[in-house]
Amino acid sequence: MNHPRRITLALAACSALLAAGGALAQAAPAKLKVGLMLPYTGTFAALGTAIENGFRLHVAENGGKLAGREIEFVRVDDESDPAKASDNVNKLIKRDNVDVLVGTVHSGVAMAMAKVAKDTGTLLIVPNAGADAVTGPMCAPNIFRSSFSNWQPGYAMGEMVAKKGHKKVVTITWKYAAGDESVRGFKEGFEKSGGKVVKELSLPFPNVEFQALLTEIAASKPDAVYTFFAGGGAVKFVKDYAAAGLKKHIPLYGAGFLTDGTLEAQGLDADGLLTTLHYADSLDNPRDKAFRLAYAKTYKLQPDVYAVQGYDAAQMLGVGLAAVKGDIGKKAEFAEALRRARIDSPRGAFTLSKSHNPVQDIYLRQVTGKENKVVGVASKALPDPGRGCRI
């Protein structure tokens, strides 16, 4: 091959390479894989679905993308089973190579997720589970929560029940992190304001044989009862409390999960119940109105607190990703953006505490027909204390 011909060939090869490079530079960035680890079966099944619906709604509103990156989902049913949690989360990280973990509902499962997220540095956004430890001793720069801590609604209700003049309260819940911590929060708010929790009743998660415990409540004759139940268990508890004849004599108060997403099934047995939560059905803000309309149109369902938390988990991911221009590897900048962000939530705008938990208003709500109507704000901009967190 003579010299000039070699040069021509080399030039041709170079320009082909340059063209290919140009095409690559213009190609869409790789999809961002979101691992949804949620309960799709069991007592919390409806909660998992609402979270996924909310998350997908925000992504759809942005044309299937967040910060320019197309979103791809991988789903795992965690069955609200802590024993299967580490295997499930490791599969998402190692087999499916997800970029982000989003989950879950159950506090015990969420703590297992947080441990793996902390060990591997994988970004985790918790769209429900309130486990105090997740934004307490287990907190980490790559772990965020779009929901609440179990302490928050409990504490607000403790203060509220004391304000109502009740002195002697019995608590009843499932015996696991969420129930224990919700009751602990309640007790802290109630007893510092002069009340006394005289008995703490519980049964294993997710049991719903309440009869013996309801008999014990009747015998104790407290001024009021405080409870944490959610999902299918909350439906049954509210119905059993009324059927046992207790509703007329001993006021029942709860963390708002007792009546959120459950009113259709609880019917009149829930009517009048007062609960505390960071969301309600009758918030008078345009952001919520638009969200509820879009959700109802898309899913032919009314949204609930779980749908909001899923929506906000996607919003938080979007805010962080926008700050790093889609490069999720820039962990410090991602975290910094979220620490400074004001999330424009349907619940009302919120910021994140140092331990990455929402600082938010806790509403007092009352069941009226099929709605949790706002009665007032029980606690304004309530931060979780974040005890034991060092970031």
Among 106, 145, 184, 187, which residue interacts with ligand PHB (rule: CB under 6 A)? 106
Among 101, 105, 273, 341, which residue interacts with ligand PHB (rule: CB under 6 A)? 105
Alpha carbons 217 and 225: distance in angstroms, whole number? 8
130 near ligand PHB, rule: CB under 6 A? yes
Tell me the residue length of the chain: 391
Q: Is 284 exposed, middle or buried (0-12, 13-18, 19+ CB in 10 A)?
A: exposed
276 near ligand PHB, rule: CB under 6 A? no
Among 34, 36, 111, 129, which residue interacts with ligand PHB (rule: CB under 6 A)? 129
- For residue 205, the minimal CB distance to ligand PHB (Å) is 8
Report the half-sphere exposure of 70 (CA within 13 A, side-chain side).
6
257 near ligand PHB, rule: CB under 6 A? yes
Alpha carbons 377 and 284: distance in angstroms, whole number? 13
Structure tokens at 369: 């027909």
Residue 201 β-bridge partners: 172
Rg from Cα positions in the chain? 24
Q: Specify the residue, 150 or 379, whose C-beta has the smaller distance to ligand PHB.
A: 150
**Per CB under 6 A, which region of 65-73, 100-108, 189-197, 245-253 contacts ligand PHB?**
100-108
Q: Specify the residue, 206 or 320, whose C-beta has the smaller distance to ligand PHB.
A: 206
178 near ligand PHB, rule: CB under 6 A? yes
Among 49, 53, 88, 107, which residue interacts with ligand PHB (rule: CB under 6 A)? 107
Residue 360 β-bridge partners: 382
Residue list 196-215, contact with ligand PHB (CB under 6 A): none
**Per CB under 6 A, which region of 58-66, 105-113, 347-355, 377-385 contacts ligand PHB?**
105-113
Q: How many helices, marked H, and strands, marked E, lie in the chain? A: 12, 14
Determine the longest span between alpha carbons in the chain, in angstroms.
Answer: 105
Q: Which residue carries 């320019």 as its tokens?
A: 68
Structure tokens at 204: 């294993």
Sign of the dihedral defined by the CA atoms of residues 263, 266, 270, 276, in that order? negative
**Per CB under 6 A, which region of 128-136, 159-167, 191-199, 369-377 contacts ligand PHB?**
128-136
161 near ligand PHB, rule: CB under 6 A? no
**Per CB under 6 A, which region of 26-34, 123-131, 187-195, 288-296 contacts ligand PHB?**
123-131
Among 217, 230, 316, 352, which residue interacts with ligand PHB (rule: CB under 6 A)? 230
Nearest to 67 by CA among 25, 114, 22, 34: 34
308 near ligand PHB, rule: CB under 6 A? no
- For residue 130, the minimal CB distance to ligand PHB (Å) is 4
Residue 169 β-bridge partners: 197, 224
**Per CB under 6 A, which region of 99-107, 191-199, 280-288, 369-377 contacts ligand PHB?**
99-107
**Per CB under 6 A, which region of 94-102, 125-133, 238-246, 356-364 contacts ligand PHB?**
125-133
275 near ligand PHB, rule: CB under 6 A? no
- For residue 306, the minimal CB distance to ligand PHB (Å) is 7
Strand, helix or coil at 39? Answer: coil
Residue 124 β-bridge partners: 101, 143
Q: Which residues, in sequence order, are CB contacts of 157 under 8 Å at separation 6+?
A: 186, 189, 226, 253, 254, 255, 275, 276, 378
Structure tokens at 194: 């002069």
Q: Specify the residue, 82 or 195, whose C-beta has the smaller distance to ligand PHB.
A: 82
Total Cβ atoms within 10 A of residue 175: 13
- For residue 131, the minimal CB distance to ligand PHB (Å) is 6
Q: Specify the residue, 171 or 335, whose C-beta has the smaller distance to ligand PHB.
A: 171
Four-CA torsion 37, 335, 333, 53, nearest 10 degrees: 40
- For residue 64, the minimal CB distance to ligand PHB (Å) is 29
Residues near ligand PHB (CB under 6 A) are 44, 105-107, 128-131, 150, 178, 230, 257
